[in-house]
C-alpha cells in the first residue's frame, strides 16, 4: 500500500511492503528528502486518532488521523544491552476512508508476519519483592503496553510464597500463550518450578528420576523485573528495565534457556537457571538471611563478613565434560542475540531410550547413563564451587561469573576456586567487577560440563562454634581493634556445622548450597543440565554494533 500522508504540516510518501513500513519526507518539488523505516515486527500497535499511552493514556479523536506505535532502541549507559522504548508517529490522511485502509492493512500485516505474538497471558505479581513496587510497576508501565497491543491478561497478585507455583501445578492453563512474573528472581523461580512440574506431570515423567530426559515446557515465560537483583532478566535481555521487558513480551520474542536439575538421593530438590554455589556464595546467602531487615545492603555486609572468615571446605567433585570442540568457557565469546552456538545446539545431556524416559526407575541414575570413564574426579579444599547455566551478569558484575557461558547450548560452567590466601581470593572477587579475566589465576579452574556430582570429603568433622547472640558490625570492629576477642568468643557455643567466622579458631566442615538465592537442605547433590527446557519472552543480549549497522543509528 502507498499514499501521501502528513506529519504535522509536512507531506510524506508512506509505503507498506512486506516486512517494512516506511515514510519519506517530500519537499515542494516532490523530491525525497528523509526516509524512516520501521520493521513490521517492531510495530506494537495501531490506533485511530492522536493517541498517547505513557505515562498515561490520552486520545484526541479525529476521523482522519491514526497513530503507529513501534519499538525504538537506545543505548544504556551502564548496561550491556539496549533499552527498548515505545516510540510513536501520528499521521494525518486526506480522508477517513484512507485512514481506515491504513489501519486495516497495518493490523493485517501484524497478524500475517507476527503470528507468534501472545494473545492471552497469565500474570503473577509479587507485591513484596524488591522495593515492594511490583504492582505499581505493572499498573503504570506494563499494563498500558499490553492493552495497546491487544493482549488479554489475567492478573493474580500473590499473597503467599509458592502461590504462583501451586496455581501452575493445579489450575487449568488452557488458552494461555505464556506466563508473566512481575518480581525478582524468586518469583521467576516459582513460575519456573510450576511450569516444569506441570509439563512433566502431563507427560507422565518422574522428576525424581535424575536420568529422565525432561519434556520442554510449551508456555513461554515473561519477566517484568521488580526485584533486588533480577539476575535472570539482566542475563537474558542485557538490562533490567520493565518497559524493555514488556516490549519483548509483546513482540513475541523467544529465547530458549537451559535448566539445571538438582537431586539428592534420587529425589528432586530444585531447579536452577543461574547460580548453584557452594562455599563462599552459600555462606553469604546464609549470613544475609539473618539480616533481611537491611534490604539489598545485607549482601554487601554478609559478603564482607564471610570474606573475613577466610573459610575453605573439603569436597569431592565429579563432572562430565562437554565437547571442547563446540565451545569453551575460556574462548572469549559472548552469548548474544542469535548466538551461533545456541542456535546450532540440538543436544541433550544423554540419549534416552524410550523406557528410561517414560518411566520412573530407581535403577537408572546419572552414573548409569554414561560410561564411567568419561567422568572426571577432583578432590580437595575449595573456597567455592559454582555451577552456572548463564553468565550471571548483573549491574555490579557486568560480565558475570562466567562471561562466555551460553544460555541454550545444553551445558553449564563449573568453576572451582581452590583454597588460597585471602589477598588472592580478593583479587578473584574484584575481577568480577571489571573486564579482567577472573579465570586467569593459578587457584581457579573452569570446565564446561553436562553434569556434576558433589559430596563432602570423608574427613572427620570436628566441633566448631556458632553465634548465639550475633555481634553487631560495630562490636566486631571495636573488639577487633582492641584485641578483646575473648569477649566476642564468650558469645559463641560449640555446634558442629556453623561458625561465626570472626573469633572462632576452628573452621566449619560444611557450607550450604546457594541455589538461585535459596538455601538447599542437602550438601551431597547431583546435577544435570537440561538443554532448552524453557523459553523466555526475550532474544538474548543484542549486539550494539550489529544493531547500529543494521539501522544506521541508535
Kindly list the catalytic residues: 185
H/E stretch holding 487: helix 485-489
CA distance 488 to 466: 11
Residues in a beta bridge with 444: 417
What are the two backbone dihedrals, phi and then psi, of residue 384, each rounded to the nearest 5 degrees? -160, 150
87 with 73: CB under 8 angstroms? no
Residues in a beta bridge with 519: 514
What is the tally of helices (H) and strands (E) in the chain? 16, 25
* Backbone CA torsion sign across 356, 361, 365, 370: negative
Cell digits of residue 176: 494461555
Q: Which residues contact 172 (CB under 8 A, 6 or more apart)?
A: none
Rounded to a whole number, what is the largest CA-CA distance in the chain?
91
Cell digits of residue 100: 481506515
SS3 236: helix
| Burial bucket for residue 547 (CB in 10 Å: 0-12, 13-18, 19+) | middle
Torsion angle, alpha carbons of 139, 145, 147, 153, to 10: -60
**What b/e sequence results for 79-92 when a residue is b if at least 16 CB atoms lie within 10 Å of its CB, and e otherwise?**
bbbbbbebebbbbb
DSSP letter at 40 equals G
Amino acid at each position: 500500500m502507498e499514499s501521501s500522508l502528513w506529519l504535522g504540516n509536512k507531506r510524506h510518501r508512506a509505503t507498506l511492503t512486506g516486512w517494512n513500513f516506511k515514510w519519506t519526507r517530500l519537499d515542494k518539488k516532490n523530491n525525497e528528502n528523509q526516509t524512516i523505516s520501521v520493521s513490521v515486527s517492531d510495530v506494537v500497535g495501531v490506533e485511530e486518532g492522536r493517541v498517547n499511552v505513557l505515562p498515561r493514556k490520552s486520545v484526541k479523536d479525529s476521523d482522519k488521523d491514526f497513530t503507529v506505535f513501534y519499538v525504538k532502541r537506545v543505548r544504556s549507559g551502564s548496561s550491556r544491552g539496549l533499552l527498548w522504548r515505545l516510540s510513536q508517529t501520528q499521521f494525518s490522511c486526506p480522508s477517513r476512508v484512507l485512514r481506515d485502509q491504513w489501519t486495516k492493512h497495518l493490523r493485517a500485516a501484524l497478524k500475517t508476519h507476527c503470528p507468534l505474538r501472545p494473545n492471552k497471558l497469565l500474570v503473577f505479581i509479587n507485591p513484596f519483592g524488591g522495593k515492594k513496587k511490583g504492582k505499581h510497576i505493572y499498573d503504570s508501565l506494563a499494563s498500558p503496553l499490553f492493552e495497546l497491543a491487544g493482549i488479554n491478561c489475567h492478573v493474580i497478585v500473590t499473597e503467599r510464597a509458592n502461590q504462583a507455583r501451586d496455581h501452575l501445578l493445579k489450575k487449568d492453563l488452557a488458552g494461555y500463550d505464556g506466563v508473566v512474573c512481575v518480581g525478582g528472581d524468586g518469583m521467576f523461580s516459582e513460575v519456573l518450578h510450576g511450569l516444569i512440574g506441570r509439563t512433566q506431570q502431563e507427560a507422565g515423567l518422574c522428576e525424581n528420576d535424575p536420568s529422565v530426559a525432561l519434556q520442554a515446557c510449551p508456555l513461554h515465560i515473561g519477566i517484568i523485573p521488580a526485584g533486588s537483583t533480577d539476575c535472570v532478566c539482566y542475563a537474558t535481555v542485557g538490562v533490567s528495565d520493565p518497559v524493555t521487558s514488556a516490549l519483548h513480551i509483546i513482540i513475541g520474542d523467544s529465547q530458549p534457556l537451559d535448566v539445571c536439575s538438582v537431586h539428592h538421593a534420587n529425589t528432586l530438590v530444585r531447579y536452577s537457571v543461574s547460580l548453584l554455589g557452594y562455599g563462599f556464595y552459600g555462606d553469604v546467602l546464609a549470613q544475609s538471611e539473618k539480616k533481611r531487615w537491611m534490604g539489598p545492603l545485607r549482601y554487601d555486609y554478609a559478603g564482607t563478613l564471610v570474606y573475613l572468615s577466610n573459610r575453605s571446605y573439603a569436597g569431592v567433585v565429579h563432572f562430565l565434560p562437554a565437547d571442547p570442540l563446540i565451545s569453551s568457557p575460556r574462548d572469549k565469546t559472548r552469548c548474544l542475540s542469535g548466538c551461533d552456538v545456541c542456535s546450532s545446539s540440538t543436544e541433550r545431556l544423554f540419549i534416552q531410550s524410550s523406557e528410561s524416559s517414560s518411566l520412573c526407575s530407581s535403577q537408572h541414575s546419572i552414573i548409569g547413563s554414561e560410561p564411567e570413564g568419561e567422568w572426571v574426579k577432583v578432590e580437595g579444599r575449595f573456597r567455592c564451587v559454582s555451577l552456572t547455566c548463564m553468565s550471571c551478569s548483573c549491574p555490579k558484575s557486568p560480565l558475570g561469573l562466567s562471561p562466555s557461558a551460553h544460555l541454550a547450548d545444553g551445558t553449564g560452567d563449573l568453576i572451582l576456586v581452590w583454597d588460597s590466601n585471602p589477598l588472592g581470593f580478593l583479587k578473584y572477587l574484584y575481577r568480577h567487577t571489571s573486564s579482567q579475566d577472573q579465570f586467569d589465576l593459578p587457584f581457579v579452574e573452569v570446565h564446561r560440563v553436562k553434569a556434576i556430582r558433589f559430596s563432602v570429603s570423608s574427613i572427620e568433622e570436628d566441633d566448631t562454634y556458632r553465634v548465639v547472640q550475633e555481634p553487631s558490625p560495630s562490636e566486631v570492629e571495636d573488639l577487633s581493634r582492641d584485641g578483646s576477642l575473648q569477649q566476642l568468643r564468650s558469645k559463641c557455643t560449640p555446634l558442629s556445622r556453623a561458625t561465626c567466622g570472626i573469633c572462632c579458631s576452628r573452621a566449619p566442615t560444611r557450607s550450604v548450597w546457594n541455589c538461585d538465592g535459596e538455601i538447599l537442605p542437602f550438601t551431597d547433590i547431583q546435577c544435570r543440565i537440561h538443554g532448552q527446557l524453557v523459553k523466555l519472552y526475550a532474544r538474548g543480549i543484542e549486539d550494539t554494533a550489529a544493531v547500529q549497522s543494521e539501522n544506521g543509528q541508535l
